[in-house]
Structures are given as C-alpha cells and as structure tokens.
A = this chain, B = another copy of it.
Amino acid sequence: MIGLSKRSRYAVSAIREEDLLAEKLRSEGKAIIKLNIGDPAAYFPTPKYIIDAYIEALKKGHTDYSYATGIPELRKAIAKKYRERHGADFSEDDVVVTQGVSEALQFINNSLIDPGEGAVLFTPYYAPYLSYLKLSGGEVVEGHYREEKNWDIDIDALDERLRSGKVKRHLKYLMVTNPNNPTGTVLGRKTLESLVNLSNDHDLMLISDEIYDEIVFNGANFTSIAKLAKGTPHMIIHGASKCYDSTGFRLGFVIVPGEDKASTDVKRSLRDMANLRLSSNTPAQYAIAEGLNNAAEHRKAIGEMVKRIEGQVNFAAQEINRSRFMKTAVPNGAFYIFPRLNMEKLKVKDDKEFVQKLLAEENVQLARGSGFGAKDHIRIVALADRETLSTAISRIENFCERHSKREA
C-alpha cells in the first residue's frame, strides 16, 4: 500500500485549515471577512518605491537564479539595518535569504533536529513552529507565556523543569517570537536577558523570530536578541513580509551572528540547505534590498502603517473586552489579538468548533488558539479597517449569544 507517511499528519495549519470551507462559501455567493491570516499587503498597498525597484530588476533581466544564500546587496542591507537600528554586529556572510520564514524554519529543523530530539517553544507560539519541528521527527518541550502576567514569559517554571531531569530528550534550541504572534507581546530587556542565561545554562541555541521588529506601539520598546546574546549561540529569523509589507514576495532571512562552533556549523548547514534548493525569487530580492536601503521612504511607509495598526488593534481589543464571552490583553506589537473564550458560557465543544461554526454561520474566518498551543482562544488579525473589524466583532458577539448556555 502506498499510504501517507505518519509524520505528514503534522502538516496542520491553524491559519489556513478553513480555507476550503471559506472557498465553498464564497462560491455560494457569501462575502467572507477574512481575519485568519496576517497579510498586511492585502490591506496596505506595498510601498511604491519597493514596487518600482521590483519592476526595475525585472527590466534589467534579474530573472535567473541568484546566489543560493541571497544577493549580496540584500544581505548587506539586512546587516546594515540590524547594525543601525538594533546595535547588532554581524556581516552579510552571516545572513541567509530564504523563501519566507517557513523555509527558514525548515532549514533550521533540518540542520538541528534528528528524530527523537526536541526543542523548546513557548505557548502560545506561531503555529508552524510546531508543525515543522514535528515533521522533522522532533518533539516540543513547552515553556509558557502567562496570560495572567500580560503574556510575559514564565522563565523560572521552564528553568525548573529543565533542571528536574525529567526531560530526557536531547534539546537543541529554544525559540521565541518577539514581538509575539499571536499575542502581540513585546518582550522586555530583562526577560530577554533571562532567556540568554537560560539558553547558556541548558546549552540550547537561542532563536528569536523578529519579523515584527518595527511593528511596535502603545509605548513599547523592542530589543533584538542580537544585541544581548553575544557569546551565546543564537539565530535571528526575520523577513520582508510584515515590516516591508510584501507577503507575496516570500522572502525571509536567517541570521547567525556568532563565530562559536555551534554557530559556525549551523551557518554552514544553512548554506548547504540553501544550495540544495538553488535560489529564492531573484527580482523580489532586489526590491527588498531597496526596501531596506531607502531609509527615508521606509520610515514614511512603516510609520503610517504602524499608526493605523495601533489604532485598529486598540479599537478591536476594546470592542472585544466589552463582550462577556471574550477577554484579551491589549497587544503592543504585531497585529494580532488573542482573546480567551469564556467556554463556561458557550455551548461549543472547543475553539476549533467555534472557529468552524463561526465561519459557516457568520462568514468570519479566524484561526483557533489550540493551533498555537493555547486552547480556548481565537486569533483575530487586526489589519482590516475599523468598520470591518467592528462588523466582524459584532458577528462574533452574535454568534456567542446564539451559542451561549442559559444562565442557571
């Protein structure tokens, strides 16, 4: 029998798993409010100066394979941005350009994880972290963001667990998203320093996914791990999709700044993985090199985008917190809201059923929290304008009322 692999069942996308149902509803003439995917380019036109650079690259004939690790112009621009903005010190040789963060995750797991090994993720985590780890045969050891501590990381509990000797598995890395997807938490410097210490103490490669580094608001400050982790083996995941508003270009970056043995080995392996698939999209790389290098245009574009996002996130969080069925912390980064559902008041089995029925009945598409390691939650993307968000939240509220338990 041909049969699927056992591991194929880990390819579960909490973000896109309702796409087929949404498609069916659309074909029946329903208009779906799509708040399931973090796609700024669907709401904010990609800045014209980036589009112009893309067109210029096409006209110049940059349509062949690029260097496997990315064109030097782009890798230099990334190193420059991190130097100027985040006080980090690495060169273009420490950067590998990937086909989105997803490919970065595959490269990292291929490089570090053999079946039976493991890694630390903090719930709630970006859903594909787990899928790619498990597709590689790895297992997760969970740390936790604590909702009751405004989604700060509980480092002591994890440290204790790792010291207890109960985790027998060989753990390779610890991965964190900062600002976090799905909670929007921006980690403070103290928490980050504790993560550096924890990684050192337990001999883990520290990986920080900083793709939302410039989407920070409500007075928060972002600190890159690259500034704090010198001497500790670490990696930064980044990408063009969010801050350069170009999701459909599919460009991610992996940065390995260190010169220690683990970092040097990983750098070589990432290059091998990149060689194997030959190239990322070439003209898009020229577009994003300009996106990074033209600081004046970028400042303008990101400034306007973050201002609108801040307003929408705060508005949506406020609306949600009026409901007796949901409660959310107010995010200060990224563009997601991650409310907890009050399941005691609801007649739905779990967040998965909630999201499915909501789509079928109210035509609002969300992602379920359990896909991010946090059941009884929903992830709402706050990129649509206030009117759309308001309509969506009203529909969610209607849905909850209709499926509420009678009060005793």
Interface residues of A (CB under 8 A from B): 1-8, 11-13, 15-17, 19, 37, 39, 41-42, 45-46, 51, 54-55, 58-59, 61-68, 99-100, 102-103, 106, 110-115, 117, 128, 131-132, 135-137, 172-173, 203-205, 233, 245-250, 262, 265-266, 269, 272-273, 275-284
Bound-state CA distance A17–B274 (Å) is: 11
Cβ contacts A to B, 15 pairs, < 8 Å: A2-B203, A5-B112, A8-B111, A11-B273, A11-B276, A16-B275, A16-B276, A51-B59, A54-B283, A62-B248, A63-B245, A63-B247, A99-B250, A100-B278, A248-B283
Q: List residues of chain B with CB within 8 A of the CB of A46.
A: 61, 63
Q: List residues of chain B with CB within 8 A of the CB of A19.
A: 67-68, 275
* Interface pair B6/A114, CB less than 8 Å apart: yes
- Which of B4, B6, B65 meets A266, CB within 8 Å? B4
Q: List residues of chain B with CB within 8 A of the CB of A113.
A: 5
Q: List residues of chain B with CB within 8 A of the CB of A16.
A: 68, 275-276, 278
Kindly name the residue among A5, A15, A283 whose own CB sees the greatest number of chain B CB atoms within 10 A. A5
Bound-state CA distance A59–B55 (Å) is: 9
Kindly name the residue among A17, A102, A113, A283 whose own CB sees the greatest number of chain B CB atoms within 10 A. A283
Of all A-B residue pairs in the complex, the 10 with the closest CB atoms, nearest first, are: A248-B282, A102-B277, A13-B275, A16-B275, A41-B64, A11-B272, A2-B262, A42-B64, A46-B63, A5-B114
- Quote the shortest CB–CB distance from A165 to chain B (angstroms): 18
Q: List residues of chain B with CB within 8 A of the CB of A172.
A: 2-3, 5
Kindly name the residue among A2, A12, A13, A114 whose own CB sees the greatest number of chain B CB atoms within 10 A. A2
Q: List residues of chain B with CB within 8 A of the CB of A279.
A: 100, 247-248, 250
Bound-state CA distance A177–B172 (Å) is: 37
Q: List residues of chain B with CB within 8 A of the CB of A249.
A: 63, 281-282
* Interface pair A110/B7, CB less than 8 Å apart: yes
- Quote the shortest CB–CB distance from A59 to chain B (angstroms): 7
* Interface pair A248/B99, CB less than 8 Å apart: no
This chain's copy number in the assembly: 2
- Which of B111, B276, B284 meets A4, CB within 8 Å? B111
- Quote the shortest CB–CB distance from A357 to chain B (angstroms): 20
Bound-state CA distance A117–B114 (Å) is: 16
* Interface pair B5/A117, CB less than 8 Å apart: yes
* Interface pair B281/A2, CB less than 8 Å apart: no
* Interface pair A280/B250, CB less than 8 Å apart: yes
> CB-nearest residue of chain B relative to A271?
B20
Kindly name the residue among A11, A15, A233, A249 whose own CB sees the greatest number of chain B CB atoms within 10 A. A11
- Quote the shortest CB–CB distance from A306 to chain B (angstroms): 18
Bound-state CA distance A114–B65 (Å) is: 31
- Quote the shortest CB–CB distance from A389 to chain B (angstroms): 18
Answer whether A4 and B247 are a contact pair too, CB < 8 Å, given A37-B278, A58-B51, A64-B42: no
Bound-state CA distance A13–B271 (Å) is: 10
Bound-state CA distance A114–B280 (Å) is: 27
* Interface pair A269/B8, CB less than 8 Å apart: yes
* Interface pair B2/A248, CB less than 8 Å apart: no
- Quote the shortest CB–CB distance from A101 to chain B (angstroms): 9
Answer whether A3 and B265 are a contact pair too, CB < 8 Å, given A103-B277, A281-B281: yes
- Quote the shortest CB–CB distance from A249 to chain B (angstroms): 6
Bound-state CA distance A4–B262 (Å) is: 8
> CB-nearest residue of chain B relative to A98?
B99
Bound-state CA distance A266–B169 (Å) is: 32
- Which of B65, B111, B205, B247 meets A39, CB within 8 Å? B65
- Quote the shortest CB–CB distance from A36 to chain B (angstroms): 11
* Interface pair A275/B61, CB less than 8 Å apart: no
Q: List residues of chain B with CB within 8 A of the CB of A248.
A: 62-66, 279, 281-283
